[in-house]
Chain A
Amino acid sequence: MTSEKKGWGLSFPFILWSVGFTLIPLAVITRYAFTDPDGGLTLDNVLAMGNRINGQAFLVSLLVAFICTLLCVLLAYPMVMAIRRLNLSSSAFILIFLILPMWMNFILRILAWQMILSDNGILNHFLTILGLPKVFIANTWLAVIIGVTYDYFPYMMLPIYTAVSAIEKDITEAARDLGAGTLGVFTRVIFPLSLPGLFSGITMVFVPSMTSFAVADILGGGKTQLIGNIIEQEFMRSSEMNLGSGLSISLMIFMLITLPVTVGRSGKEEGSRDI
């Protein structure tokens, strides 16, 4: 029991910090969400998510987040398998490979995508050289999806990679020994064992994807409004603190309802989300 006491003691600065700067701010935003500017209780701010403009932005965000998450998953698994196949066992290098881009300024990276994707941009330049027709995806939701997928891919890749690289070679060899081909080894052994990583990847990609307002702003040309853009404008342009908080809280409530399934499952398999 002394170790239990010691444990709480050592965690104390962290607990203090979290209560002060995570939980109390959440309480503050909740308070804003359920009051009007005069301080009276109201549900209007939270329910504003249901009106036409906000509701539409919410559905678009949901769709964008879903597609981006799916793309991240579809890109990550072949990559993890490729790493395994080529025996690139140095996880330090893979970590560096995925994290290094984050050191090039975030906004500049997104601006670079704008230059690549714009109508007279680099991509179309190459397509013309190759004799292919140009693509016009600048300022569309497609550009937003590319940008968001690009931004969050490492957050999907790392936990899946961590989970898969923890699978010992013995185990996949055993599956092969018992008659499984490459596909069988993947579907019956590697994929099921990677699930904790996949779940934490999903939670780390899906939620932020709905709100990356800067990406939508730069690559969507103002035409694709994510729910993040709406919330940002309520605060930074219209100073509608209560309304903005209300929308944030209803977004949080939505996530709390949909994500526990995945979070709960990834929580059970411990150590799967060390990045």
Chain B
Amino acid sequence: MSDRPVLIHLEHVSKSFGNSLVLDDLDLTICKNEFVTLLGPSGCGKTTTLRIIGGFERPDSGRVIFQGEDITGVPANKRPINTVFQKYALFPHMTVEENVAFGLRIRKKSREYIREKIDYALKLVNLEGFEKRMPKSLSGGQQQRVAIARAIVNEPEVLLLDEPLGALDLKLRQEMQYELIRMKNELGITFIYVTHDQEEALTMSDNVVVMNQGYIQQEGSPQKIYDEPENAFVADFIGDSNIIRSTMVRDRLVNILGIEFECVDTGFGENRPVDVVIRPEDIVLAPEREGALNGEVTDVIFKGVHYEMCIMTGDFEWIVHSTRRSEPGSGVSISVDPFDIQIMNIPESEDEEAVKLDI
């Protein structure tokens, strides 16, 4: 977590729609000036969480605390929070300028103030000169920028972004990621970002909240989430991984597929079953019999930066990334640096067990 002051606190928030429980006793703290990403597959409750913060949904139970005040019952139009909607939601009957001025006109700001703010906001999103255009005549990326400008002119304390880049193509998406980081730094406000794209989450965030089935699975910096996933769901959802049911022999020693590996984790007890995560790029390939585990290459795909290979050792299939190609059918040997072996507890509750099914 960060040392910044707390801005938003969701306390024991639950929400269901009909019979399905979307959020179950959720606790979440968001700090001032943070870029927080809610990450998870569709249906995990991330958008509902965002809508509760925005004031579009009221939780069935629990409270929303904003700067120390309970705002659970405050409607969206009275919150110092603005939203950038997934499908832009621009007002189709208004020009770009009128769209951006919408919130300011409602607050009855002076003409000069509004003029100044429009200029500033359109400059910030690189859309100077588009004032008189209608939303329909803009590209998806431009519409997205108008949506952002429309939200930030109101000087919100928090900007909520609901998969704002989802509808853009890959290249534009990458550009917008940098733009968003730049805007966030320039504005100095809190961004809460919802996405199912783990790359987006890792690129932009100060803090990532991985959610699944209405629960928070893990919370932390992108590095921590990537390097030290706390359970199999997070490990599997963030990037490719090899997840192997293994036995913790004792502190700093784990038995993976019958071979003992040194590792750096402690405190899992002795001879206890654990899950081990090893990232594909952390596996070191050596000629046959020179590494720890021997296997055979079954498949090779060229991925541009590296080759992705499938290697069978016994009946476990490894995914390995390497810049050097090994021929299918050839024998290789696998070894792993102790620092790259991540040990995780095996989930106990049924809910968490269910998560593992789609691995």
Across the interface, which residues of B come within 8 angstroms of A189, CB to CB? Answer: 91
Across the interface, which residues of A come within 8 angstroms of B77, CB to CB? Answer: 176-181, 184
Stretch at the interface among A75-83, A152-160, A167-175: A167-175
Contact partner of A176 (CB less than 8 A), chosen from B75, B86, B92, is B75
Report how far A177 CA is from B55 CA in the complex, Å: 8
Report how far A181 CA is from B55 CA in the complex, Å: 13
Report how far A189 CA is from B75 CA in the complex, Å: 18
A168-B89, A170-B87 known; A177-B106 Cβ under 8 A = no
Across the interface, which residues of A come within 8 angstroms of B83, CB to CB? Answer: 173-174, 177
Are A171 and B106 within 8 A (Cβ)? no
Report how far A188 CA is from B81 CA in the complex, Å: 20
Q: In the complex, what residue of chain A is closest to B76 when comparing beta carbons?
A: A176
Q: Does A101 contact B (CB under 8 A)?
A: no
CB distance from B83 to the nearest CB of A (A): 5
Are A171 and B107 within 8 A (Cβ)? no
Contact partner of A170 (CB less than 8 A), chosen from B54, B89, B150, is B89
Q: In the complex, what residue of chain A is closest to B150 when comparing beta carbons?
A: A178
Q: Does B280 contact A (CB under 8 A)?
A: no
Report how far A254 CA is from B128 CA in the complex, Å: 47
Q: Does A192 contact B (CB under 8 A)?
A: yes
Are A173 and B89 within 8 A (Cβ)? yes
Across the interface, which residues of A come within 8 angstroms of B76, CB to CB? Answer: 173, 176-177
Across the interface, which residues of A come within 8 angstroms of B107, CB to CB? Answer: 179
Across the interface, which residues of B come within 8 angstroms of A193, CB to CB? Answer: 92-93
Find residues 1-34 in chain B having any chain A CB closer than 8 Å to their own CB: none
Are A173 and B106 within 8 A (Cβ)? no
CB distance from A268 to the nearest CB of B (A): 12
CB distance from A195 to the nearest CB of B (A): 8
Are A184 and B85 within 8 A (Cβ)? no
CB distance from A158 to the nearest CB of B (A): 21
Q: In the complex, what residue of chain B is closest to A189 when comparing beta carbons?
A: B91
Across the interface, which residues of B come within 8 angstroms of A179, CB to CB? Answer: 77-78, 103, 106-107, 154
Are B102 and A178 within 8 A (Cβ)? yes
Q: Does B190 contact A (CB under 8 A)?
A: no
Find residues 148-162 in chain B having any chain A CB closer than 8 Å to their own CB: 150-151, 154
Q: Does B178 contact A (CB under 8 A)?
A: no
Q: In the complex, what residue of chain A is closest to B105 when comparing beta carbons?
A: A188
CB distance from B27 to the nearest CB of A (A): 25
Are A184 and B93 within 8 A (Cβ)? no
CB distance from B48 to the nearest CB of A (A): 14
Are A188 and B87 within 8 A (Cβ)? no
Are A178 and B89 within 8 A (Cβ)? no
CB distance from A159 to the nearest CB of B (A): 17
Across the interface, which residues of B come within 8 angstroms of A171, CB to CB? Answer: 89-92
Are A174 and B85 within 8 A (Cβ)? yes
CB distance from A145 to the nearest CB of B (A): 33
Find residues 56-95 in chain B having any chain A CB closer than 8 Å to their own CB: 56, 75-78, 81-83, 85-87, 89-93
Are B102 and A173 within 8 A (Cβ)? no
Q: In the complex, what residue of chain B is closest to A178 when comparing beta carbons?
A: B103
Contact partner of A175 (CB less than 8 A), chosen from B55, B86, B102, B154, is B102
Are B92 and A177 within 8 A (Cβ)? no
Q: In the complex, what residue of chain B is closest to A192 when comparing beta carbons?
A: B93
Across the interface, which residues of A come within 8 angstroms of B75, CB to CB? Answer: 176
Across the interface, which residues of B come within 8 angstroms of A188, CB to CB? Answer: 102, 106
Across the interface, which residues of A come within 8 angstroms of B56, CB to CB? Answer: 173, 176-177
Report how far A173 CA is from B77 CA in the complex, Å: 9
Q: In the complex, what residue of chain B is closest to A179 when comparing beta carbons?
A: B106
Find residues 172-215 in chain A having any chain B CB closer than 8 Å to their own CB: 173-181, 184, 188-189, 192-193
Across the interface, which residues of A come within 8 angstroms of B85, CB to CB? Answer: 170, 173-174
Are A178 and B87 within 8 A (Cβ)? no
Across the interface, which residues of B come within 8 angstroms of A168, CB to CB? Answer: 87, 89
Could you jot down 29 A-B contacts, CB within 8 Å? A168-B89, A170-B89, A173-B56, A173-B83, A173-B89, A174-B83, A174-B85, A174-B89, A174-B90, A174-B91, A174-B150, A175-B91, A175-B102, A176-B56, A176-B75, A177-B55, A177-B56, A177-B76, A177-B82, A177-B83, A178-B82, A178-B103, A178-B151, A178-B154, A179-B77, A179-B103, A179-B106, A180-B77, A184-B106
A residues at B contact (CB < 8 Å)? 168, 170-171, 173-181, 184, 188-189, 192-193
B residues at A contact (CB < 8 Å)? 54-56, 75-78, 81-83, 85-87, 89-93, 102-103, 106-107, 150-151, 154
8 pairs of A and B residues whose beta carbons are closest in the complex: A178-B103, A170-B89, A174-B89, A179-B106, A176-B76, A177-B83, A192-B93, A176-B77
A173-B89, A176-B75, A189-B91 are known contacts; what are 18 more A-B pairs with Cβ within 8 Å?
A170-B85, A173-B85, A174-B83, A174-B91, A174-B150, A175-B91, A176-B56, A176-B76, A176-B77, A177-B55, A177-B77, A177-B81, A177-B82, A178-B77, A179-B103, A179-B154, A180-B106, A193-B92
